[in-house]
Structure 1
């Protein structure tokens, strides 16, 4: 908790003294924003990449650990491919690879641009023996995605998704014969990892893709424009509505019809989801990068957000981190209404490609396995998701790794740009994973001493594709005739996602004539194969739809869910079917009903939403969020009706109704929430929930209610109310004159607060060398006593100040030399997100610290965790510091032995 004197410093910022009133209309943003601005100009002064002059490398398969009963082999390696950023599989079992020789600072290294390669095992011996370039263009600068749908090849190369059609099917792009078009454009920042990622197919016949938090403004062929910005690059359209009527911010997942029409945003609020999957049940999963360590693998609920930015996109998570919140909770806004559960948050890393294994050459117990590449940890994670209310439970295990030590190198979460791997088991950088038509699992290795930080160091540009199969088996890719009905059905049963899509489209084109053959798959013993038939039958006319409706009556919840999703995908006008499922026993089915209500007017959806609310168990956060999404734009009417049915007196609310109110936070609830927040008849937790709910209501009446809650300085929620007043006075409530109201009501006088000078001591040369420390044996017990010097800026063992990175468990994953380096020369590698700024005020006050929020008021956190709120008009100048805010070991009076002792302690401190 902030101390009262610290918390109230915000008022000294001189907020507007206007009375509480509605905010004025937002000014129009400029429309000439440069889309896709390159991060780098090709550097033609560097030596051109010459494969004949490098000796490529790959890791020996003996270094890999895979589950019992599996074996791993090299399927292809350089010079057959270089720097694989992404890959896909076609119907003939060939693997297509997007190369990144020209990655970032090496732009121009391949003079003619990067390539899309085609690799094949022509003799079926389990190794590629053929490789050639499909296309190479100067415009291709480390494309981050390649997707193959028969002879249509989509390449994700910001700012564009490029569509190549191999008309003569010779696997070589010839502009004289083949066609090339920009399928979609408007994705910000060419040559940026946080931009456009790969396209993949869903079971519904649509194409899916993700984009990082660089932002995008793209228009589909229906003429619908989407504007997705965020505080990362401060895009001028940040916070503006897209043409579908919704505001999207941050990284996002979208889908689109292969014709280019009907684009939809399905999830947003990410940092940088590199790839996602949508399996044959229609479950969506994604991974996401961290800032700082809070990487996640998550189940995505349609339309949901994960909260990396504020709802308007103007603030990153640090600006809204509440007292007492840990980083994962704050980073993904897990305590905020409207944020989806983050799923498996595993700490630092750099996740990349994903795949979902449904059928193939492995034992059936592996059907339903989610795979996620993690380059920072030298591993491909595995999950076997299980239904958990309205979500899926994700329990992680290592599916394929070279590093079981728990000590990692060459990644942002370990250290900054100067941190490199120097041991071979840390060089495995899995950039992508996919399932082949033979049912084997293929893993692409970027191979480098570094991942993240937009860096690559391997001048050989080595790359490898590894193949994982069951021991003693020799799976081969079947010959698929995509022109025959039998071949199309066989392709629909393929383990390879995008191959199934080709079969889907061919069978769909035939309409009802395909129904009988597709319907036969409903009896397949593999539930994923049977589900594929349902999605297609729903689009094959009335006869097919009737067969799908039968699944709505199934005893199996997953069949009812698939049927409902398939019918929604085939025909948006299925309100009768949706309303019939409102009483379903499965929370997942009811959640699907809820999200289907998002764009349905209140007149048609309110009764359905009320019935869904009655069946909320008061605990399932995913269900609550799905229901809240369904209430979008009609929160007030739904809440008033709920109040009438479920609860009356605000002091008699059930916990369930209080949570439903928190999720909707309608302005109509303000007076009741004020009663609850200020009543000493309720528990502190109940009062706090009311306060937190008020904080998300963007109305002057909510600010007034919060002031009323803060007035009683002895109340258990006083500090919470004051923190929200401070925070909201810089953003959502900035126009409501909080400063003058606080003074008028006698809560706080801003004129009585003075800013305090806090300067970081000047750096002095280090008297300690890392090499010296590494020769010493550390004393763990002494290190534990010494580490108390760190808690003035770091948290450890539940103690300390929240200023620098949390040290709890940090040392376990760090090499000893990296820990020592951080203590000895903290300015050499400043942790991402912890850059310092030096502010000089007009009255001479100097403040060194981190800017948590910037606007009319700057929220600045300094050494010792002291937070000050500085009015912009009080600042004379500010500049980025060229050194760390952290004092070095020498400045703290430590010896080399002291450093060795602290390193020893941190290496074992869970």
Structure 2
């Protein structure tokens, strides 16, 4: 296991090169590094591998240098179909007892049937916090034998069982508090008795108050929980530096190249869902970002904190902030992050950027050859080296595990540096100080805890660190403790506020906010600080602040906004929460009306959340001297303004002739459409001007998505005949299906039937096609009526019979008709044909059994090893993709947008995992692509993927790429489908060679280097 590798951007050239190995040899631990490219400044060695451990999801390193591992052998067995260990998963302790850099001792700290694929571990001496949704447990070793003999439930009720988007690891902050997070499946946190917990401000932690993935802080007794950030998708692990700044990664909806790294601005909204409606990123909106990775996070919306960095496709996992000095300088004080999707461990060197930051990428390890390399976590050891956990699997989670018996731990160090764990007498002042300054978090915790217990006796030594240490991060650690243990913490804060380093001033201010000192003089001092990042912190602190000078402070900060710094603007927006009316009016009075002509002033008007800003917002939105594309942001801002009456009045005023006369003809039309798009629908009836504008706009936009959106919004049944015409003209695409869905919702059944009985086959067939896939009771009843009407031409009836099975409810109805022998013999083949591409294999098989030639011939596949050895043609595989997969998947612009996009799937999945995903689709359901059954009040059932959901509306994406708008008031229930929406048995529709060709094509779809 003492293998090392220092290759950089070149592959080993010896006879042991990874390419020359057999598939079996590639998986052996002794070859673990041959397929991995390592940064030329670093050395990587294998610390541990199977059979000692398997499937490591998360690790921590204690103050003794031992690696603690969460294993996940029992990962998602109901979906993967894999075997399980009835005794449960394990928490392992791995130790290098002889200092050779290789683990030689393994101890099972805890194992239980209840432990199933835990995702987080934090070690603090004899206690360990383990995160495994829906639980957080505290495990304690009471007698020092490295075995847990006490288990307590700290939290529960967090997401579903074994959900990857649930609770992640806890970490210890420099302020002596715990930081943790959960992804967008977390939902709530309850105590051990099931009571929903409230945050520090008394708000229940549930989806009604907070959106999607959340970041938390609490005391070490788990009290006084604060929500520090929200609206992430799957924010995997928060990392906190010595100043108290938070960093983390977040995963996109698979296939959209939107993986991101975030600086977690306190109390920020991070834009996964629409802040007001909770609609998904795919929902149409004004001022839509130009590219999908940006659209994904609503980055053009006021109130969304910018992303630090977007890294493309991936499956981001663990992160630390490296504050050691044992690695080369490029890695000092930077985030180190694992991303299992593109098989990479990266650093993100950060620089200041206005009130925020910008970052670049420096790779540490990259599995360029070995796509089984799946780094799942990284930790800093007490000697300053890194330990990297490798899940080692052909797939990358997401309900998938292709290999249960492998897993690795790598050590990353400067070349030639042996693994030597420093030892300190933690019970002495000197030893505790050394521990506090160590780069390992568990060691730091031990030092912090003991120094805190020493109280004032520790103050002189901590003062010495603060005064004399040249490393500002170590100064910050000492400062945090001084403000916690000294009665006179005010003097340390005041001194630190005079420091030349803005990060020390930030630390001092953050520490002040956690004490009971009067903040007003501190804020007074910092509102004009020369560093924009310090001013950012002050702005955030004004959130819900009720001091006498609050509005004056905010105005002073706002007057310094330059119109270029989005970080600063969002900090101002966060700071105005709870006080928008007062802050805005004070600022406007100070800035003067001419501020509307400055970019800085326009920013603040755009970001404001008060009816007091409506006059200025309306001026900007209606200013004909501003290009219409530049005015879109102001129209979008109306959606976020809470004053419905004032914004409706302002929008209606834009429709007056005097205003429209200022516009060019084209801008006039766009302006009218924008007003109608953003006007709350109840205000239409009271305005003849708006009604006329709507009629004209519907005429101008007929045949477009804009037309359908306006009809849907204002529920205009006078458009029913034109909806029918549009359904016929656009019968083979999403617009046609949307049109006929709207028509049915608006009582249009009779005009549809009239058309179907018209004898005009050029219109009948398109009408039937548009009805296919709608799936509500009314549409199926119409199709059945045509199917069973013996007076109609047989070809029309066959087309109707085939269309019945185009939806989830329709598939079930076809089976009912077949079982009850209701279908005329001459229509059976058509009905069966209509469900031949159903995603439920049992539907396809049972329906086919009603045909004379329905006997299913066995088509056994070769073994996986044989498939892996076969050569495929990517060119031929493209043809197979178009014939079999493009109905639900996209590569570039080819195919339908239903399942995950596959444009870079070759970078994410290994060859073996591609075969597994096709042959066993239930083994790898991508998050965000789970299927749902929606039962409607009319008795129908719809099946698909939820692309957007608000309190009142759901957009349901149907197989084939079309989308159906559903009112939640029309639903009776909604249930997630356990199986994949991708049909099983897909491989049976092609030859073995076609399957191999398809995988060859998919493997060619890789991220551009």
Match of 1:752 among 714, 719, 723: 719
Moved more, 697-706 or 847-856: 847-856
Secondary structure at the counterpart of residue 694 of structure 2: coil
**Corresponding residue of 2:109:** 134
Gaps (5+ residues) in structure 2?
1-26, 696-715, 724-738, 741-769, 774-805, 807-833, 839-860
**Corresponding residue of 2:75:** 103
How much has 1:299 moved relative to structure 2?
A: 0.9
Does residue 1:578 correspond to 2:529, yes or no? no
Alpha-carbon distance between aligned partners in 2 of 1:862 and 1:479, rounded to the nearest angstrom? 61
**Corresponding residue of 1:297:** 261
**Corresponding residue of 2:732:** none
**Corresponding residue of 1:520:** 464
How much has 1:852 moved relative to structure 2?
A: 4.2
Where do 1:326-475 residues align within 5 Å? Answer: 326-401=291-366, 403-404=367-368, 425-460=370-405, 462-475=406-419
Quick one: structure 1 residues 794 and 72, their matched pair in 2 at CA, closer, same or farther if it must change by over 3 Å? closer
How much has 1:890 moved relative to structure 2?
A: 15
How much has 1:765 moved relative to structure 2?
A: 8.5
**Corresponding residue of 2:272:** 308
Secondary structure at the counterpart of residue 129 of structure 2: strand
Quick one: structure 1 residues 691 and 501, their matched pair in 2 at CA, closer, same or farther if it must change by over 3 Å? same
Does residue 1:252 correspond to 2:214, yes or no? yes
Larger helix proportion, structure 1 or 2?
A: 2
Quick one: structure 1 residues 382 and 901, their matched pair in 2 at CA, closer, same or farther if it must change by over 3 Å? closer
Q: String of CA shifts for 1:243-292, please: whole Å, max 9, x gaps.
A: 89993211111111112222111111111111010011222100111113
Contact 1:710 1:718 in 2 (8 A): no
Contact 1:557 1:586 in 2 (8 A): yes
Alpha-carbon distance between aligned partners in 2 of 1:744 and 1:321, rounded to the nearest angstrom? 22
Secondary structure at the counterpart of residue 263 of structure 2: strand
Quick one: structure 1 residues 132 and 499, their matched pair in 2 at CA, closer, same or farther if it must change by over 3 Å? same
How much has 1:719 moved relative to structure 2?
A: 4.5
Larger Rg: 2
**Corresponding residue of 2:667:** 716
Quick one: structure 1 residues 358 and 857, their matched pair in 2 at CA, closer, same or farther if it must change by over 3 Å? closer
How much has 1:224 moved relative to structure 2?
A: 11
How much has 1:515 moved relative to structure 2?
A: 1.1
Where do 1:499-898 residues align within 5 Å? Answer: 499-522=443-466, 523-542=468-487, 545-571=490-516, 573-601=518-546, 603-648=548-593, 652-701=596-645, 702-709=647-654, 714=665, 716=667, 719=670, 722=673, 733=680, 744-748=691-695, 750-753=717-720, 754=723, 755-756=739-740, 757=770, 759=772, 833=928, 852-853=947-948, 859=955
**Corresponding residue of 2:226:** 264
Does residue 1:188 correspond to 2:152, yes or no? no
Give the TM-score taking structure 1 as reference length: 0.77
Contact 1:709 1:717 in 2 (8 A): no
Secondary structure at the counterpart of residue 431 of structure 1: strand
Alpha-carbon distance between aligned partners in 2 of 1:255 and 1:590, rounded to the nearest angstrom? 22
Secondary structure at the counterpart of residue 490 of structure 1: helix
How much has 1:610 moved relative to structure 2?
A: 0.7
How much has 1:743 moved relative to structure 2?
A: 6.5
Q: String of CA shifts for 1:75-122, please: whole Å, max 9, x gaps.
A: 122333232221112121112112222222179822232222222112
Quick one: structure 1 residues 565 and 803, their matched pair in 2 at CA, closer, same or farther if it must change by over 3 Å? same
Match of 1:494 among 429, 438, 445: 438
Q: String of CA shifts for 1:710-758, please: whole Å, max 9, x gaps.
A: 78694538557746855x78xxx57666799887344235522422326
Alpha-carbon distance between aligned partners in 1 of 2:901 and 2:337, rounded to the nearest angstrom? 26
Contact 1:706 1:721 in 2 (8 A): no
Gaps (5+ residues) in structure 1?
1-54, 229-239, 406-424
Contact 2:183 2:213 in 1 (8 A): yes
Alpha-carbon distance between aligned partners in 1 of 2:132 and 2:920, rounded to the nearest angstrom? 38
Contact 1:220 1:262 in 2 (8 A): no
How much has 1:311 moved relative to structure 2?
A: 2.7
Alpha-carbon distance between aligned partners in 1 of 2:261 and 2:671, rounded to the nearest angstrom? 31
Q: Could you say which structure has the greater relative contact order, defined with CA pairs below 8 angstroms and 6 or more residues apart? A: 1
Secondary structure at the counterpart of residue 61 of structure 1: coil
Match of 2:183 among 212, 217, 229: 212
Alpha-carbon distance between aligned partners in 2 of 1:154 and 1:877, rounded to the nearest angstrom? 37
How much has 1:543 moved relative to structure 2?
A: 5.1
Quick one: structure 1 residues 842 and 203, their matched pair in 2 at CA, closer, same or farther if it must change by over 3 Å? closer
Contact 1:147 1:153 in 2 (8 A): yes
**Corresponding residue of 2:144:** 169
How much has 1:357 moved relative to structure 2?
A: 0.9
How much has 1:368 moved relative to structure 2?
A: 1.0
Match of 1:199 among 170, 176, 180: 170
Secondary structure at the counterpart of residue 311 of structure 2: strand
